[in-house]
Structure 1
């Protein structure tokens, strides 16, 4: 027997190939690979010529049969695999795409497009270590396995649903609004979240308030009202009146100390890793995903696109291999040895449902390091930072808890009351791993006793103003998308959204954010996101339409999960989906979209015809539609800013831009237009080189 194994990426294909050469299987395997998605659903006009027109009377566009086309960027790969299938006789295909819904989508969309009829076996593993690959090759899953079949159906219908919603509502909005307005079932609710916060910031009116602070030498205390428990005063007059009544001493009225014991947080899902990387290093969500994917392909961490924060029992019982891998790193050697010397603590962690729970697993388990050591692998600084975040989180769950005594003291001076708080660290526990990230140390209160009188060294009024809510960062926006149930009132839908783990998935949220930036609806301002006027206009014009609410994606995500769990048939899902698409498109067509005209940013004069060159979504093009002059915004992963474009058009060199060459090597260079063609200008080598 002979099989063709198709991996999702060349790197995975090579890893499987290496292990296969050491095995003896009852069949022969040939190898090939995709490069991610190689096909996509056809554009509307490829189904019907009349759908090329952006006409409200043609909506909704619903194909009788959904067909795929080959992606231009993957045409060569598609044709090569197609040729392999035509010229060789195979008994079955091995689907070695990533173990999850998206992996099923990548494989079966190709399978349908190429017209393959061969049986399929599923290669299924969340790791790319030799041992995991060996086990997966020995235990191929039949394509008729109920879970795999349901997963495949859910993946296909999710793709179709997004096509129907995105294209129909985008066309309706664009025609009604007079400019390109993209709509999506996850993208639009995410935009609405950012817009809501932006309006809160813009409409915020700062209000002054006052506080009274006592300086008691070793610590400070704030005045508060025992009736309202409020420590803010609205007027300076009130504050001055209270200040005048304060004596020379303060008496300790009450002392309460509470011991808090905090065990390490759960392991990383992709969401948690993205949030932590943004908090500690300022990485964007898309940057973290890209770095984690690179570490996965280098076999240093498990599959990163996971929603789970738990490990399966079978994996946890062999966790010593991962711990021993970390023992080879100077940062963790002594800590790992302490952990390995306490087998009881290891077993206690494995038995804890906080970290190990088979019932809380999604398609993949939590992210952790593998048994493959870094060794001599060359990692970038960014890769090392992410690897160490994952390593620390794994080690932390086997270390002692962080123990702290939280003390609150109540003081009285004449008839005025004051509060002070202090924290005493009893055991640093797992937090010793994070000492480098701590911005402030815990400050304990000095030894105090009831009725003790303390001299007041100073009493002063603090003048402050209320501050607007903070704009979203990568970390807080990802968190808002995950906890999108906060934005709806219906309790049942809140629960559905919680079960569905918010809007989008760990694998797609970063992409959604970057797409909103690229189409000009939101913009980065430092580490924060700011809704543009265009984005605000879109959300305000759509109003209460359900495409704006997280409820929509919650309900349909639940239905997809029901398909995977076997609780909803694909046929019934499709029937409900069509009814919704028709209803919501009709509702959208009746909207009045009041979206301001886009202001074109002129970056210079065209070198070919002399007309204005303006900024677009993908680059800088001549405003003369007959002219083909164009400078892309992204060249070899390097970002060309409007300032760069202005310099190029003025015959100057750009700033140094970081590029990624075809080999994968990264480096910096400037750009210059020479005879209307972009050329790299590399820095001159230093004398010692």
Structure 2
């Protein structure tokens, strides 16, 4: 008797193997064969592949809007594509199972391929936020119908987001490049992100430090600063300091003592944004690095799906949270804490019912990131993976621990008619913060016991000369936060609400990629942990002259529309018609701009060993100026950075300094580089 046969296509080989292993222990009414992508295997065609006249960068042909959008196979995935195409041509299968990541991007990866390959087979959806054996078993047993409303809406939103980004990016990039006289990349999320950093950079460059002073009283067991209660400041103009000091007597009278008890509960569970911010704050990890680590932990079945905007768990998940706590408890450092939590079922029930941590109404495609019920056992983690995994473990344990409770005391003193103030905290209950002792930078400073009308001797009066400081540059953490809270950068209240509803600009999955792209094309630069706008980036934003692509409003409004498609509140066809009208109008507005961008300074690092023409420094490589010559030295080779000094040495026949490289196996080591007949060699 013929048995129904399906082809399951996973997003990555690692997930395919995990699903296949679970499947072999199951009895299903159909047979499954397995295959996998390697991420995206197809992409939208380039403009010239639609029309020959679009190859020429000419304003007259813009905007470019294909009548029908078509895909091409990515060069790096050609072999994978052909193997899958051959499988589908055999006629062996009755349906296909889409086992890409459960989200908008997973739908995009699968259906871009499905359309390109011309497949007509029915599709079932494998949907899970975890890769544990039990979660995979459940997903295989309960495959979703491809016409499920959520799945269909996600697919439509994913496709239109891709098309919209193609239309905005290519049309506006071409206008900006033609009018600006050099390559200027423009993007729906990338350009407003650049504008945020440029605004801060200009504030820093235009900042003029001004002197001010503070007056500090040294009292028994404490200090206090002068303050102005009307202006609510402790800063004094330098010419007023001596006048105030002259009025201060030898004693200070306690005018007011106010103590307020505060209780800070544990923070909510991690969204990807929160995990990226925390990893950057504690360990200096870039947002892209944290996303990569989280994806690796997910594939090792240790954490749930990482590309999530949510900070809440679903009720059904919370009801089985004990198994996840048991997995955390296998780690020596958390054994005692986890054991105490597991021994208090009433507390677990209380937290599981708390809307702060568990709320079905506040879920997005996926719930918050947390550990799975898989014990770490003998799994080998890199140092970076271990750090991120422990952050996720701590956050889960924290929600079951008491709040951090302390008494905040504010004391106001008076001397010679002048007021002075000091605050201090007395810890009542460390609560969940005991998990974070290693990250404490300084201890608490309780004030001595004081009574109103008490007279204190003044031991010393200090005048502190200070200068105002510019705002700090963005770090990965603070820029992620600025992108999420992009409503701060607009004044209109309605637009602020739209940005809040759209959760800022970009998504948790794309914000890191946007930052790295801006760094790669030279519009941003890293200065230690800080991100600075380059002169090029500043010129680009200035030349765009408040075009709507610069404002976060553009991406927020359209992200809200995409969300409405997912929620079934906006028809996809209506969205597409609005999109075409907008692209036409916004391209016309950019054509009307007068753009001036400074020419990029050409830095020559040496002579080409093949054709003897100058080798110049680019964004990604040191390349020969002779376009017919293919000689180039990559700036980043196996995670090792090749500096201009290294390039100069190579081009004069010398060896570089020792550079730290990371091989495909993950092994790290140092080596020098040398050029031999135009090719790089490693010298160990």
Q: What's the TM-score once normalised by structure 1's chain length?
A: 0.98
Gaps of 5+ in 2: none
Q: Is residue 194 of structure 1 aligned with residue 194 of structure 2?
A: no
Q: Is residue 600 of structure 1 aligned with residue 602 of structure 2?
A: yes
Structure 1 residues 591-647: Cα deviation after superposition (integer angstroms, max 9, x where no partner): 111100000122222112222211112211111223221112232343323232222
Measured in 2, the distance between the counterparts of 1:462 and 1:71 equals: 63
1:546-585 aligned within 5 A: 546-585=548-587
- Structure 1: which 4+ aligned runs deviate by more than 4 Å? none
Q: 673-682 or 132-141, which moves further after superposition?
A: 673-682
Shift of 1:351: 0.9
* 2:10 aligns with one of 7, 20, 41: 7
Shift of 1:338: 1.2
Q: Is the 8 A contact 1:207 1:466 kept in 2?
A: yes
* 2:343 aligns with one of 341, 344, 360: 341
Shift of 1:26: 0.3
Q: Is the 8 A contact 2:609 2:677 kept in 1?
A: no
Measured in 1, the distance between the counterparts of 2:453 and 2:132 equals: 65
Measured in 2, the distance between the counterparts of 1:194 and 1:637 equals: 26
* 1:646 aligns with one of 640, 645, 648: 648
Structure 1 residues 98-119: Cα deviation after superposition (integer angstroms, max 9, x where no partner): 0000000000000000000000
Cα 1:613–1:452 change in 2 (3 A) is same
Measured in 1, the distance between the counterparts of 2:576 and 2:226 equals: 62
Shift of 1:377: 1.1
Q: 667-676 or 162-171, which moves further after superposition?
A: 667-676
Q: Secondary structure at the match of 1:257?
A: strand
Measured in 1, the distance between the counterparts of 2:275 and 2:657 equals: 32
Look up the match of 1:153.
Answer: 156
1:173-322 aligned within 5 A: 173-235=176-238, 237-322=239-324
Look up the match of 1:368.
Answer: 370
Q: Secondary structure at the match of 2:171?
A: helix
Structure 1 residues 356-407: Cα deviation after superposition (integer angstroms, max 9, x where no partner): 0001111111000111111111111100000000000000000000001000
Q: Is the 8 A contact 2:279 2:290 kept in 1?
A: yes
Shift of 1:50: 1.0
Structure 1 residues 197-243: Cα deviation after superposition (integer angstroms, max 9, x where no partner): 000000000000011000013110001123333221112x3111111
* 1:331 aligns with one of 326, 330, 333: 333
Structure 1 residues 535-575: Cα deviation after superposition (integer angstroms, max 9, x where no partner): 11110111111100000001100111111111111111110
* 1:26 aligns with one of 12, 26, 29: 29
Q: Is residue 46 of structure 1 aligned with residue 49 of structure 2?
A: yes
Q: 207-216 or 491-500, which moves further after superposition?
A: 491-500
Gaps of 5+ in 1: 683-689
Measured in 2, the distance between the counterparts of 1:85 and 1:667 equals: 43
Q: Is residue 485 of structure 1 aligned with residue 487 of structure 2?
A: yes
Measured in 1, the distance between the counterparts of 2:283 and 2:480 equals: 16
Q: Is the 8 A contact 1:603 1:614 kept in 2?
A: yes
Shift of 1:501: 0.7
Q: 224-233 or 411-420, which moves further after superposition?
A: 224-233
Q: Is the 8 A contact 1:243 1:460 kept in 2?
A: no
Look up the match of 2:439.
Answer: 437
Measured in 2, the distance between the counterparts of 1:582 and 1:226 equals: 55
Q: 370-379 or 10-19, which moves further after superposition?
A: 370-379
Q: Secondary structure at the match of 2:333?
A: coil
Q: Secondary structure at the match of 2:456?
A: strand
Measured in 1, the distance between the counterparts of 2:524 and 2:627 equals: 27
Shift of 1:658: 3.5
RMSD across aligned positions (CA): 1.1
Shift of 1:664: 4.1
Q: Is the 8 A contact 1:602 1:614 kept in 2?
A: yes
* 2:401 aligns with one of 389, 399, 415: 399
Q: Is residue 458 of structure 1 aligned with residue 455 of structure 2?
A: no
Structure 1 residues 105-140: Cα deviation after superposition (integer angstroms, max 9, x where no partner): 000000000000000000000000000000000000
Q: What's the TM-score once normalised by structure 2's chain length?
A: 0.98
Q: Secondary structure at the match of 2:332?
A: coil
Cα 1:422–1:337 change in 2 (3 A) is same
* 2:170 aligns with one of 138, 157, 167: 167
* 1:630 aligns with one of 621, 629, 632: 632
Q: Is the 8 A contact 1:521 1:531 kept in 2?
A: yes
